Amino acid sequence: MRSLLPGHALPRGRLADALLVDVDGAPAPPRVHLSLRRRRRETSLGHFRLDEAGKRAAEAAIRKRPRRVVLRPDRSVVLERNVVLPLAAESDLAQVLRHEMDRLTPFTADQVFWSASLEHRDPAAGRLEICLTLIPKTLLRPAIALLDAVGLTISAIEAVNPSGLPRLIDLRAPSRRYRASLAIAWGLVGMLAVVAVVTPMITLSLASNAVEARIASLEPQIAEVEALRRRVAGGSAGGTVIAAERARIGDALQVLATTTELVPDDTVLSDLSLHQGKLSISGRSTAAPRLIPALASDPTIGNPSFAAPVTRTPDGKADTFVIRAELRR
């Protein structure tokens, strides 16, 4: 729930001491930059390729195991969308979003790193406006593999969305201190329950009346929660309308997910556009001709072809390409 707080409410969350892992946007070959942040100052440890030699060099550069490891991906891999939910979903918002992820995005919850920030709460209209931030795990897999090889586990992801706003995705389980505080809180609740039992009968009667009034006031919200659960389980008519519209003009997030899965690991996309079912992608690849049959193998992509001559990069290690295709409905 920490991630559901507005960013300005967590000014120190992005400035804690940590090992920072910056993932370059479109390098050839791919690499990461490691640095240490202490007392809000960053010290560079160097750039490292995502291969065996790079893993050994990175392990040598990290002399002391950090308590916190933060991954900072390129902003081009950060996806966001606004979501409107009933106000009743606020009590279990994370669980609702986890179940609804494959309806709101082309991914399931276990295919992405994600967080949600509360943008606006409108009690009068009975709704919440949420900003959903997500990063496909496949795009960060090489960097995570390097960290795993040197025995490090990601604590959080510090990202910047395409608009330049900071986003924090906390991946840590609740700390021992948090669990201890929770146990103390439950202990205090138990003590209050004991006090309530020995309270004079007149006080107990007044408290009972207050509880019953509170339950009665919550009945409309309980009804909304039940309706939300039914929509999560069985879908809703609105989903059919949205699906039809996506089929007509195409879904940019779905196209991005499909294209990411189809192209080889040695290919980096620098631009993707979708307009009225027309797809255009450009980027770099060590062997661009392989992309045409790879894209053509998917039934949703038709007539892929190069829109411009394929050229070699100045270092001669990759091809630059522009491909256009049509989305099949």
Q: Residue 89: is its pLDDT beyond 70?
A: yes
At 136, list the tokens.
């496909």
Q: Which helix (H) or strand (E) holds 256?
A: helix 252-262
pLDDT: is 20 or 26 the higher one?
A: 20
CATH of 248-327, one of 3.30.1540.10, 3.30.310.50, 3.40.50.720, 3.30.1360.100: 3.30.1360.100
Confidence of residue 303 (pLDDT cuts 50, 70, 90): confident
The pLDDT of residue 107 is 92
- Do 133 and 46 touch, CB atoms closer than 8 A? no
The pLDDT of residue 236 is 52
Q: Residue 80: is its pLDDT beyond 50?
A: yes
The topology (CATH level 3) of 2-170 is: Nucleotidyltransferase; domain 5 (3.30.420)
The pLDDT of residue 152 is 84
Mean pLDDT of 122-149: 88
Mean pLDDT of 55-70: 85
Sign of the torsion formed by the C-alpha atoms of 178, 180, 183 and 184:
negative
The pLDDT of residue 2 is 46
Mean pLDDT of 285-298: 86
DSSP secondary structure string, 217-252? HHHHHHHHHHHHHHHHHH--HHHHHHHHHHHHH--H
pLDDT tens per residue across span 159-197: 888 888 888 998 876 555 545 554 575 466 566 666 666
Residue type (1 letter), 25: G
Mean pLDDT of 296-320: 87
The pLDDT of residue 49 is 84
Q: What share of the chain is helix, strand, coil (3-state, %, to 5)?
A: 45, 30, 25
pLDDT tens per residue across span 235-271: 554 555 555 555 555 567 777 788 888 888 888 888 8
Confidence of residue 3 (pLDDT cuts 50, 70, 90): very low
The pLDDT of residue 113 is 92
Classify 42 in phi/psi space as left (phi over 0), alpha (psi -120 to 50) or beta: beta
The pLDDT of residue 114 is 92
- CA distances, 166 to each of 36, 55, 68, 83, 252 (Å): 19, 29, 18, 18, 23
User: Domain coordinates of the chain in residue numbers?
Assistant: 2-170, 180-234, 248-327
Cα–Cα distance for residue pair 151/59, rounded to 1 Å: 9
Query: pLDDT exceeding 70 applies to what percent of the chain?
Result: 80
Confidence of residue 12 (pLDDT cuts 50, 70, 90): very low
The pLDDT of residue 28 is 60
The average confidence (pLDDT) of the chain is: 80
The pLDDT of residue 133 is 92
pLDDT: is 172 or 293 the higher one?
A: 293
Which backbone phi and psi does 70 adopt, to 5 degrees?
A: -120, 125
The pLDDT of residue 9 is 41
The pLDDT of residue 189 is 54
Cα–Cα distance for residue pair 175/279, rounded to 1 Å: 46
The pLDDT of residue 112 is 93
Q: Residue 296: is its pLDDT beyond 90?
A: no
pLDDT tens per residue across span 275-285: 778 888 898 88
